[in-house]
Amino acid sequence: MQELGRRWRLLAEGAGIAGLLCAHVLTRAYDHVVLVERDLLPDAPVHRPGVPQSRHVHGLLDRGLRDIEHLVPGFTTDLLQHGAGLVDFAADIALRTPAGWLPRVPSCLRSCTASRPLVETAIRRRVLSHARSSCTSATWPTA
């Protein structure tokens, strides 16, 4: 990662997927990034109130998977080791459009079938192991 040579401490709100990845990128520019999260963050990949959509079935598409892997190397392996599956988006998934069923053909489009809590936990483990980022949970800013 390119160091930008700035030396301030930054406070960011929300330790969901976006907040964690933002904090990770911002460690290039800041001495320390502190995430402030409203929920009490569980160690295990389980649902929590701040992310109500997480009970919905989730899949991580090719571009998102590659981008997250680029930011936090080892992320995909971590997901697979914890039960996620890797599928060929065009061959393994049946897709129906207004024009009918799409043909199932082999492609280079990978998709990862992982729950939202598992994706977040794998990112969190890696991002918060960085010395320049930390998270305070069950807290929210009042001003």
Ligand X SMILES: Cc1cc2nc3c(=O)[nH]c(=O)nc-3n(C[C@H](O)[C@H](O)[C@H](O)COP(=O)(O)OP(=O)(O)OC[C@H]3O[C@@H](n4cnc5c(N)ncnc54)[C@H](O)[C@@H]3O)c2cc1C
Provide φ and ψ at 111, rounded to 5°: -140, 140
- Element spanning 33, H or E: strand 32-36
Considering beta carbons, is residue 7 or 58 the nearer one to ligand X? 58
- Element spanning 70, H or E: helix 62-71
Burial of residue 121 (number of CB atoms within 10 Å: 0-12, 13-18, 19+): buried
Considering beta carbons, is residue 30 or 41 the nearer one to ligand X? 41
Taking the C-alpha atoms of residue 74 and residue 83, their distance in angstroms, rounded to an integer, is 15
Q: Are 71 and 21 in contact (CB under 8 A)?
A: yes
Q: Is residue 19 within the footprint of ligand X (CB under 6 A)?
A: yes
For ligand X, the binding residue among 42, 73, 81, 140 (CB under 6 A) is: 140
Restricted to residues 49-108, the positions that interact with ligand X (CB under 6 A) are 50-51, 53, 56, 58-60, 64
Considering beta carbons, is residue 2 or 53 the nearer one to ligand X? 53
Q: What single-letter amino acid sits at 131?
A: A
Considering beta carbons, is residue 4 or 138 the nearer one to ligand X? 138
Shortest distance in whole angstroms from residue 73 CB to ligand X:
19
Q: Is residue 18 within the footprint of ligand X (CB under 6 A)?
A: yes
Report the interface residues with ligand X, using CB under 6 A: 13-19, 36-39, 50-51, 53, 56, 58-60, 64, 116, 140
